[in-house]
Structure 1
Amino acid sequence: MPEVYIDSLSIKNFGPYYGEHTFELGTEGYRRATLIGGKNGAGKTHLLRALYLATVGESGAIDLKKVESGSDATRFDLAESLNRRAKSEGEDSCSMTLQLSQRDETGSIGRTLTLVRQVRWRPNSPPVFSSKANLSGDSQWIEDEDKVQKLRDAFLPRHLTRFFFFDAERSQSIQLNEREITEGISRVLGLYSYSELEEDLRQLTANKIPKIYGSGSEAERRLNDITAEILRHESNLKTFSIDESDQKQELRDNISELDEVEDQLKSIGAVDPEQLTKATKQREEIKSTKDKLEANLGTAWESTLPISLLGGFRAELYDYLLKEERRRDFENRKASVEPKIPQVKQAVFENVPPNFVLDDSLRSFYEAQIDVALQSLFNPPPEGMSEKIFVVPERNELSIQIRSKLRTQATAIQGLANLCAELERKTSELRELDQTLKVLNSDSTAIALGNELRERRGSLLKHKEQIDEKISNIQAERTLINNKLHELRKEETNLSEQVQKVQKGRDLNSLAHRYRDAVSQIKSCAAVSLREKIADIVGGLWLDITDRGLEYVGMEFDQHWNCFLKKSDGTRVSWESANTSAGQRQVRILAFTEALRRLGRFVTPLVVDTPLGRLDKEVRENVLERLYLSGHQSIILTTNAEIDPKSDLFDRIAPHLSRVYTLNPQGDPESNSYQVRVSNDYFKRVL
């Protein structure tokens, strides 16, 4: 198989590249890779675009716009690709010059092709493409567009470029729709010619032969009718396939726009009405709690603070109040008993029956006993009793209340401190909420924009549901048509056998059907075989690089290139349900590209931008060595965050590098002076 190389690229006044810049990209022995570094926004993507446009030509602008379906800030727009400084100086065109070469397995250069693409801008009109090419050994330049593209296809066809020139972070090559992927794979692997031959033979048997030779037997007429019906259904199937691809592209654009809306909502800090309502309610609750605390604190200050000011006198006052209470108890008992002693004596000794009357000595004795007994109710006075009472009320309730407050003073002081701390905390919370509400309510522009973005998000989600429903309906229709085609093809095969028996190979119609059946069988067998080979290569690389060999033993693809992972017990699971990360998906895509490169009819160079952006650190080295650096030529556009010039990773890949460049942006990106300077190092690291 011939190997195709990109020897050099020159770009002039394209994007941030002011003036002319030339990148030598050829290989040197076993040094088969070129590493081009640059920070985000330094011009790596424009360099990838320049390579693609230089190779493909004008149709490449349509491809780039389709696969770079991001926001307006990142989507490719050819109308804005003229360098601003050059435009301000009166320049109206940019150019890209690419030199390709083909080499045999020994490495000898067979021939070279130089492609020149020029884009000229005109006022109030779309940009105009012009191309020319020169094949080694020819003295004349070829400017006819069809001839230029045929020469290009002989070196590096468009369908190969679409797969092997890509932005790894965007998975750009696999963002093509299903029809483009299937057709591209078919072309890369050489299966497309079988499909074209099968279609030509079917058209021959359906249209040309019946007109020349007549319909023949009933079986032939029925066979021709079925062939026409198959063509009609296949045409409908292609239409549905295109519709589905368009709907999926619209769905990707819708999801991308949804992501952009979400990013804008985050970037502007748009106010969520629910958040505003929640914050307002929370402020009311905290304000109510703060008011209650202030009321409680006011009550506490009225009693606790004056008592606390007594200091050491508090204990003295407590003891004295206790003595007063004892004096009051004594005085109260004495006051209640002493006046009644004469009455008690009179009630006991007066007005008694004559036989119970005591003589004077006995009466005196018992009167003295009663007097002592009654006096004992309040005598002797209790110890620790005060001599005077200063609390006015006759009862001790007020004194007891005062003593209770004096006794609980330590706890009251702590409670007062707790109340103050709690009030301070609530005051701080209220102040923070007031600040938050002030910010939420102050930026009316952000609030209005947030409401607009949320309304747009709702509209996009509704549109997404509609697209999903359309895709589901289209897929259902495709399933019905496929089932019908399956039945028609079975009948077509049976009728073909009848026609072959009747005509015994002498009828051209039957012969054409036999050729078509043979082509179909060859294509089917080749497709199955190549799909199995691709699955073996992709599965092996993916399992080795991602270290998931303990979970799975291999990989399979169905006829629509849907991916399944095989387990050791023979079961298989779909890729979507296998819990794979974005990095592992990228490894699978890269392994898929590597499989196509190994099995394709052309051995193409690999051009990749942002090669390691989504990959885990553990798999970066494996991806670099087994995928990006395994081919005959690789051009890698990367940042120093992916490959640090001072890292062991750079030291390991350095022996594979033929040269390095760094893209150094200069000036304000929004000004006319912004441009890129190219240096022959990798972030100041020289090979």
Structure 2
Amino acid sequence: MIFLELVLQNFGPYAGRQVIKLDPRSGENARPIILLGGMNGGGKTTLMDSIRLALYGQRAQCSTRGNLSYADFLTQCVNSKANPTEKTRIELLFEHIEDDKPIKYRIVRTWEKNPKDGKDALGILGDDDTWPVDSLVNIWDDYIENLLPLGISNLFLFDGEQVKELAEQETPPQIVIEAIRGLLGLELADKLAVDLEILVNRKRKEIADTKDLADLEEIEQRLIEQHEDYQVIEEKLASYKNQVEELEIIQREALDKFVSEGGKIAAERNQLEQQQMERNTAAENIRQSMCDLAADVLPLALIPNLLSQVQVQGAKEFRYQQVQLARDVLLERDKRLLKWLSELKITSEQVDKIQSFLVEDVDNLYTDYSQVEAPWLLADEESLSQLDNFIYHVKNAKTSAKQQLSNLKNLEEELIVLARQVQTAAEPEAYQKLRDAVEEAQNQVAQAKAIYETTRQHLAELTDTLEQTKKELKDYTEKNIDTKNREHIITSAAKVQETLKVFREKLTLRKLNKLEEEVKNCFLYLLHKSDLVYRIAIDTKTFALSLFDFDGKPVPKHRLSAGEKQLLAIAFLWGLAKVSGLRLPVAIDTPLGRLDSSHRQNLVEKYFPAASHQVILLSTDTEIGKKEVETLRENEAIAHEYLLKYNSNTRQTTIQPGYFW
């Protein structure tokens, strides 16, 4: 399917008749992107609504409709400056393949203010835009459901707010859940289940007697009322849930403000000041200890070389003194030995030889010490022992001084940090206001949660009541209906219901497995960090995404940056579109949101040209800026460029060729 042309006449801010060519194949080579630029409030969302309105009419999920009736919504869409005699008109020309051949249809919807019968006039024109195809008008809703089902249209026609909502919520919003259900075929299974229940109820009525029928109708009426109550409470529960989420956001903002403006530090001010006093006392003690060291032996640590030299010289002189004493002792002994030898009957020659040997031996033993310089330190053994002790104390004093200096530096750094924290602490009056705001937000959240929990319990009780009524209806049928054929239908329908339940579960698992892989691949393709996520899982009930790293550990969603959450949401929508298997155009309003430059570049280069064969981008000048549009042009991705020029004086928008640059 390809959108070829969109015509707006007196629709919203678009006065007169304005035409937008959308065919991406207009050039020599097909270029997928049709780029429409416009400032906020210039008509981008209105243009997106016009496509939805053309396709689906009263069923269209237009962003500006709200709770308006269809007639009031159509009246609201009429241009304020339009000539009362001219009708408001939307035309959408598209092409799709039918019976292996391309065929074109032009959808035309027209209406005037306060439209008659509260609806528009629908016309379908054929290939040459002249002959009407009346046969399609009556079955148009069914026909467009086969081409682009309403349930999954939000996967192809979406806006930045939808992406933002999907990125910030833990579970997808209801509009995306409905699209997923449509994509998985769950709506068909649910409809079949309802049809079976209707069939069974019809058969019950057919085979019940008058009294049984009255009882049966009473039970059915009670069941209908309970269903209605259930829907009302379910809507209230969804509203309360949204209220709780909004109040939690306000609470987080109040807490963030409390912290950023010094409220948390102000609450801890006394403790911080006590820590300051303790650190100052500890620092002063260290300084006093260092003064004591400086008054003792620490200054001698400045002359370690001199102390070492004195120690070495003392040891040498002490050894020299010992050698001299030993030599004197040996010489005395030698004299006694020679005297004794002379008294023996030994020749003088032998005595002389012994004497020469002893002299030479003494000389050889003390040759090394004979070359020592003359003593000048003249230290005794006790003085040298005291010197060793002294040097040991100097080394200990030096080590202690280094450690205390390090401790003092750490304390001074802690004091600087504490001083800054005390300075950033809020004043008592401001602190009280911040604290009151936090407490008020917390009270509101608590009250909203209490209401939500009460409603949830009420809904659970009503669910049990519904199940009891259904069981009563079933038991009533089983006890009072005797017609075998109809009993067989009822019994078979129950079996079909069970089979349908199993089929629905298996279908969901199979489709979700494929969807998980597609979403993961799309996310990693858009992301510049390929090691962030290894696997993505989708809950079969809530359709919430869960991320896991390469170790199989969960990756909490709050750890992702705002840009990464945006990319994950886009990857989710992209994966859903791929799994749908439908070749459909993609239209994106406000596409880039709060993405940073790197993620924005990834989206521009990787997603927009590949999102579909036709991609309609509605952007402001800050989202797709000069750099981004030049990248798209260089990559030959843009087929058409338009500028939605809004005149604030006339409150009218005109469509002009070209972009902001």
Range with bigger deviation, 17-26 or 126-135: 126-135
CA distance in 2 between partners of 1:233 and 1:571 (Å): 43
| Partner-residue secondary structure (3-state), 1:659 | strand
Partner of 1:560: 542
Shift in CA distance, 614/640, structure 1 to aligned 2, threshold 3 Å: same
1:613 to 587, 593, 597: 593
1:581 aligns with 2:564: no
| Secondary structure, counterpart of 2:582 in structure 1 | coil
Deviations 1:631-668 (A, max 9, x none): 12110111332233455852466422222112233x4x
Alignment partner of 1:56 is 2:56: yes
CA distance in 2 between counterparts of 1:236 and 1:50 reads: 35
Cα 1:487–1:208 shift into 2, 3 Å? closer
Query: Does structure 1 residue 204 correspond to structure 2 residue 199?
Result: yes
For the structure 1 residues 653 and 150, does the alpha-carbon distance in structure 2 shift closer, same or farther, using more than 3 Å as the test? farther
Aligned twin of 1:535: 516
| Structure 2: runs of 5+ lacking an equivalent | 210-217, 258-432, 475-483
CA contact (8 A) 2:207 2:486 kept: no
Which blocks of at least 5 consecutive residues in structure 1 are unaligned? Answer: 69-75, 216-224, 267-450, 494-502
- State, as a whole percentage, how many aligned pairs show the same letter: 21
Tell me the TM-score normalized by structure 2.
0.57
Alignment correspondent of 1:155 = 147
Q: 1:226 to 1:57 in 2, by over 3 A?
A: closer
Question: Cα 1:90–1:204, aligned 2, differ >3 Å: closer, same or farther?
Answer: closer
The AA in structure 2 aligned to 1:83 is N
Correspondence 1:117-136 to 2 at 5 A: 117-122=109-114, 128-136=118-126
Return the offset for 1:132: 1.1
**C-alpha separation in 1, matches of 2:442 and 2:116:** 34
User: Do the aligned residues in 2 keep the contact of 1:552 with 1:566 (CA within 8 Å)?
Assistant: yes
What is the CA-CA distance between 1:197 and the residue it aligns to?
0.8
Q: Distance in 2 between matches of 1:250 and 1:79?
A: 31
Look up the match of 2:637: 656
Cα gap change, 1:471 to 1:6, in 2 (>3 Å) = farther
Q: 3-state SS of the aligned residue for 2:659?
A: coil
Residue identity opposite 1:241 in structure 2: E
The 3-state SS of whatever aligns with 2:523 is helix
The question of whether the paired residues in 1 share the 8 Å contact of 2:605 and 2:632 is answered with: no
Match in the other structure for 2:163: 171
Quote the RMSD (CA, aligned, Å).
Answer: 5.1
Match of 1:244 in 2: 237
In the superposition, relative to structure 1, how do residues 79 and 136 fare at CA in structure 2: closer, same or farther (>3 Å)?
closer
**Quick one: distance in 2 between partners of 1:508 and 1:538?**
43
The alignment of Structure 1 onto Structure 2 pairs a total of residues equal to: 461
Aligned to 1:58, what secondary structure does the other structure show?
helix
Distance 1:458 1:64 in 2: 36
Could you list the per-position Cα deviations for residues 284-317 of structure 1 after superposition, in whole angstroms to 9, with x for gaps in the alignment?
A: xxxxxxxxxxxxxxxxxxxxxxxxxxxxxxxxxx
Q: Structure 1 143/227 Cα, relative in aligned 2: closer, same or farther at 3 Å?
A: closer
In the other structure, the counterpart of 2:79 is 83
**2 CA distance for matches of 1:90 and 1:563?**
51
Partners of 1:628 and 1:634 within 8 A in 2: yes
1:504-553 deviation line (CA, Å, top 9, x unaligned): 99922222222222222111111122122222222332244234543431
Post-superposition Cα deviations, 1:38-74, rounded to whole Å, max 9, x if no partner, equal 2334332222222222222234376533499xxxxxx
Please give the secondary structure, in 2, of the residue aligned with 1:13: strand
Aligned with 1:679 (options 648, 653, 656): 656
Structure 1 residue 492, shift from structure 2 partner: 13
Q: C-alpha distance in 1, partners of 2:555/2:99?
A: 40
1:119 Cα shift? 3.9
Q: 1:97 aligns with which of 82, 91, 94?
A: 91
Displacement of 1:200 in angstroms is 1.9
Contact in 2 for aligned 1:32/1:634 (Cα 8 Å)? yes
CA distance in 1 between partners of 2:528 and 2:627 (Å): 27
The 2-side partners of 1:552 and 1:488 are apart by 47
Counterpart amino acid of residue 567 in structure 1 = D
**8 Å CA contact retained: 1:132, 1:148:** no
- 1:192 deviation in Å? 1.1
Which one of the candidate residues 455, 469, 474 is aligned to 1:474?
A: 455
CA 1:469 to 1:654, structure 2 compared with 1: closer, same or farther past 3 Å?
farther
Q: Give runs of aligned pairs for residues 401-480 of structure 1, distance below 5 A.
A: 466-478=447-459
**For residues 236 and 244 of structure 2, what CA distance do their matches in structure 1 show?**
12
Cα separation, partners in 2 of 1:78 and 1:135, compared to 1, 3 Å: closer
Partner of 1:20: 17
Contact 2:7 2:91 in 1 (8 A): yes
Letter in 1 for 2:656: S
* Contact 2:95–2:105 under 8 Å retained in 1: yes
Structure-2 change in CA distance of 1:478 and 1:627 (3 Å): farther
**CA, structure 1 residues 80+193, in 2 after alignment: closer, same or farther (shift >3 Å)?**
closer
1:644 aligns with 2:625: yes
Amino acid at match of 1:132: L
Checking the alignment, whether the CA contact within 8 Å between 2:164 and 2:593 is kept in structure 1 is no
Contact persistence 2:203–2:486 (CA under 8 A): no
CA contact (8 A) 2:90 2:110 kept: yes
Is the CA contact (8 Å cut-off) linking 1:177 and 1:245 kept in structure 2?
no
Instruction: Give the 3-state SS of the residue equivalent to 2:120 in structure 1.
Output: strand
Kindly indicate whether the alpha-carbon contact (under 8 Å) linking 1:164 and 1:173 is maintained by their aligned counterparts in 2: no
SS in 2 for 1:199: helix
Q: Is the 8 A contact 1:8 1:24 kept in 2?
A: yes
- Report the 3-state secondary structure (helix = DSSP H, G, I; strand = E; otherwise coil) of the residue aligned with 1:83: coil
1:622-633 equivalent positions in 2, closer than 5 A: 622-630=602-610, 631-633=612-614
